[in-house]
Amino acid sequence: MIRVLVVDDEELVREALRHILAAEDGISVSVCDSPGALAAVRHTAPDVVLLDIVMPEPDGLTLLAAIRDLPEPPAVAMLTTFDVHDQLELALRGGASGFLLKNSASALLSQAVRVLAAGGVVCTPPGSQAVISRHLTTQPAPGLDTHPDLDSGELSLARLTQREREVLTLLAIGLPNADIADQLRIGVTTVKTHIAVLKRKLRARNRVALATLAQRAGMT
């Protein structure tokens, strides 16, 4: 059972998302507003948190930081509209596993929750195009430390093995670990090991950073 917590300051949105996700097999849903979010995360131990990025205090970015500081944080995807691209970039840098538009189709929403629970990354269009494009053209990858071998922002992936490149490419298109393992006919534990090595070699804090690196390098 995938445990989901929806955090939004609008009751109508909370209940709509609860209704959509609770209708799916294998998903249980809790909802709360911003002030009760951190307590709800501790109490319900969700696998996935869908977190509104624009809320009264504490706002979404503040809550994201607090959730990511927990000993075993859940995957967090930001719920958003079309006009908060700057905040989305900050969320990606803060460890969010992507973002979902509030008007996403029901099937897309439930699939995104399953991807997030499996360790994947989700970015629903068209908002993702603007944000990712900005990262690829003007920003270092979220979570990427400056490296002296990088020349004019171009990424050198020569240090990667062929299998690491394969894992990175599949990760960048949003596949969760289990699907990467199936595609490459290796174990899930082996995939996790490759991802840990990729993070170390490329100085990336999270999967979003790795995915952005791969996209910038033309691997997807």
For residues 144 and 10, what is the distance between their CA atoms, to the nearest angstrom? Answer: 34
| CATH of residue 148 | 1.10.10.10
Are 8 and 112 members of one domain?
yes
Are 46 and 91 members of one domain?
yes
Are 8 and 115 members of one domain?
yes
**Last residue within a domain, chosen from 104, 135, 166:** 135
Are 21 and 116 members of one domain?
yes
Q: How far is CA 168 from CA 15, 53, 73, 205, in A?
A: 37, 28, 23, 14
Q: Which domain holds residue 24?
A: 2-135
pLDDT band at 220 (very low <50, low <70, confident <90, very high): low
For residues 22 and 17, what is the distance between their CA atoms, to the nearest angstrom? Answer: 8
Q: pLDDT by residue (tens digit) across 155-206?
A: 456 678 888 888 988 888 888 888 888 888 898 888 888 888 888 888 887 8
- pLDDT above 70 (res 135): no
Whole-number CA gyration radius for the chain: 17
Are 123 and 168 members of one domain?
no
Are 11 and 102 members of one domain?
yes
**Last residue within a domain, chosen from 135, 165, 190:** 135
Are 128 and 84 members of one domain?
yes
Please tell me the total count of domains within the chain.
2
Are 163 and 122 members of one domain?
no
Are 129 and 161 members of one domain?
no
- The average confidence (pLDDT) of the chain is 79
Residue 191 CB burial class (10 angstroms; 0-12, 13-18, ≥19):
buried
Lowest mean pLDDT among 48-52, 66-70, 85-89: 85-89
**Last residue within a domain, chosen from 101, 135, 169:** 135
Are 86 and 155 members of one domain?
no
Are 103 and 44 members of one domain?
yes
Task: Give me 139's structure tokens.
Answer: 């920003």
Q: At what angle do helices 207-216 and 127-138 cross, to 10 degrees?
A: 70
Are 90 and 50 members of one domain?
yes
Please give the pLDDT value at position 136: 39
Report the sign of the C-alpha dihedral through residues 34, 18, 126, 117, in that order.
Answer: positive
Q: How far is CA 193 from CA 116, 199, 203, 204, 219, in A?
A: 19, 10, 15, 14, 20
| CATH of residue 119 | 3.40.50.2300
What's the maximum distance between 2 C-alpha atoms anywhere in the chain? Answer: 50
Q: pLDDT by residue (tens digit) across 5-62?
A: 999 999 999 999 999 999 999 999 999 999 999 999 999 999 999 999 888 888 888 9
Q: pLDDT by residue (tens digit) across 197-211?
A: 888 888 887 888 788
The bridge status of strand 48-52 relative to strand 75-80 is parallel
